[in-house]
Chains A and B, each alone.
Chain A
C-alpha cells in the first residue's frame, strides 16, 4: 500500500505505538521473570544489595527530609488559612497528619527518589549497556539480573518504606511546629486532632504505597537502562524516560491504590 505522507499516516503511527508498547510490556515481563529466577542466587545479590541500600538510604535522607519538612509546614500553614472561624483547631492537626501519612509522605518521597535513584540507576545501567559491561558480565556466565538489577530493585524497595517513615516523621514534626506557631495550637490539641482522625490502617496503607512505589522507581529505571541504545545520547534518553515514566507510574499507582485499598 502506497501512502503519500508516510509520517502522518495515523493508522501507521497508532500501529507502531501499540506495537512498541506491547513489546515494552513483553520485555518488562521478561525482566520480572528473570528477577524472580535470580532471587535464589542471594549470595550474589545480597552483598551488592546492602551496598546499594546504604547508598539509597543515607544518601536520600537529606533531600527527603527537606521535602517532607516543607510539605508538612506548608500543609499546616494552609490548613490554618482555610480553617478559620467556627472549625476547631484540632481539625487542622488531623488534616496535617492524615495528608502527610496518606499522600504527601509516600508520594513526595517516591517522586524525589524517582529523580534521585531512578535517574541514577538508568544512567548507570545505560552506560554499562553501551560500554558493553553488561555483555561482559554475561560473557563470564554471570547473570546481569542478579548482579545488577536485583540488588538495586531490592535495595530501593526496602529503603523506600524506611524513607517514607522518616518523611512522615519530619513532615508531621514540621507541621506540628508550624501549627503551634501560626494556629496557636497546643500540644494537646495537636495530639487530640491527630488521634481523632487516625486509623491504624492509614499507616499500613502508607507503607503499602511506599512498597509499590519502591518497586516502580527501581524496576522502571533498571529496565530503561538495560534497553539503552546508541551511546551517550541513548543514556540521556533512557535516563529522562526512566524518570518520566517512573513518576507517571507513581501517580497512576497512587490513584489505583487509593481506589483499591481505601474502601470506606
Chain B
C-alpha cells in the first residue's frame, strides 16, 4: 500500500506539487496521467524517497519513508522497482551488469548461475534477444535502452513497481508487450504498480484506477469507467483526444 498524504514540493519559486493526496492499494495498478511538466516524475520519486517532500508524508507498507533509517530505506527500496523515464542505465557497465545490479537480493546476486538465468529471463520479458546482454548502453537504441531499464527494475522481483512512461518511444508492438508485462506482473505476482503514462489507451487497458495530476494536485481519481463518466472539463479534455481515435475506427 502506497499513501501520499498532502505532499507539497517546490523547486525554488516553482510549485510543482501542492498538497497531493494519492493512494494505491495493495495489488492495484494505478495509471497516473497529466500534461508534460506537471510533476508526475517528481511525484513518483517521492514514493521511494529519491525526493523528499517539503510538507506532507509518504507511507509505503505502513512505513513512513522520510523517517526510515539508512538500512531500512535501502531494504524498502530494494522491494520497489523504478523504471526511469530515460532509462538511466549505468553507461560504464554492460547490459548484463546493469540487470545484475537490479538483482537486489544479496545472496542471489552472488550466485552466478542464478544471475545468468535471471538476466536472460528479464531480457526475454521485455522482448530483447539474449545477445543484448554483452552490449553497452551506448550501443543500444532509445527503445532498447528503455526496455533494459525495465528489465533491471523487475530483475529483483519487487513487490512494488513505479513505471515512468514505460511505453513512450516504443513502437506499438513493443508498447503492447510492455503493457502485457505490466498486466502479467499484476495478475500473476500481485505486484502493486503506479504507471505514469501519456498513452491514455494503454492506461485504460492496464489500470485498475486512473489518476489525473493537474496544477499540483490530483484533479480526479477513479476507475476507468468513473473517469470516462466524469463531467470535469479538464478530465474530458485530457481523455477526449486519445479516446476518440479508437471510436473513429
User: What residues of chain A have their CB less than 8 Å away from a CB belonging to chain B?
Assistant: 37, 128, 131-133, 135-143
Contact = CB atoms under 8 A, between A and B. Distances in A.
Given A136-B84, A136-B89, A140-B101, 15 more contacts: A131-B88, A133-B89, A135-B45, A135-B84, A135-B88, A136-B82, A137-B101, A138-B50, A139-B50, A139-B77, A139-B80, A141-B76, A141-B78, A141-B104, A142-B101
A143 B101 CA distance: 12
Contacts of A37: 70
Contacts of B76: 141
B48 A139 contact: yes
Given A139-B80, A140-B101, A131 B86 contact: yes
B236 interface: no
B75 interface: yes
* A interface SS class: helix
B91 interface: yes
A137 B152 CA distance: 11
Interface string B58-86: 00000000000010011111111010101
Given A141-B104, A142-B101, A136 B77 contact: no
A133 B74 contact: no
Which of B70, B76, B77, B88 has the largest number of chain A CB atoms within 10 A? B88
9 A-B pairs closest in CB distance: A141-B78, A141-B77, A132-B88, A139-B82, A136-B88, A141-B74, A135-B50, A141-B104, A132-B84
A249 B172 CA distance: 55
Interface in B9-46: 45
B16 to A, nearest CB: 16
B83 to A, nearest CB: 9
A141 B65 CA distance: 13
A58 B101 CA distance: 28
Contacts of A135: 45, 50, 84, 88
Contacts of A131: 86, 88, 91
B90 A133 contact: yes
B102 interface: yes
A141 B45 CA distance: 14
A136 B102 CA distance: 10
A37 B74 CA distance: 13
B166 interface: no
A256 B101 CA distance: 43
Nearest to A135: B50
Contacts of A132: 84, 86, 88
B53 interface: no
B156 interface: yes
A216 to B, nearest CB: 25
B227 to A, nearest CB: 29
Nearest to A143: B74
A68 B221 CA distance: 68
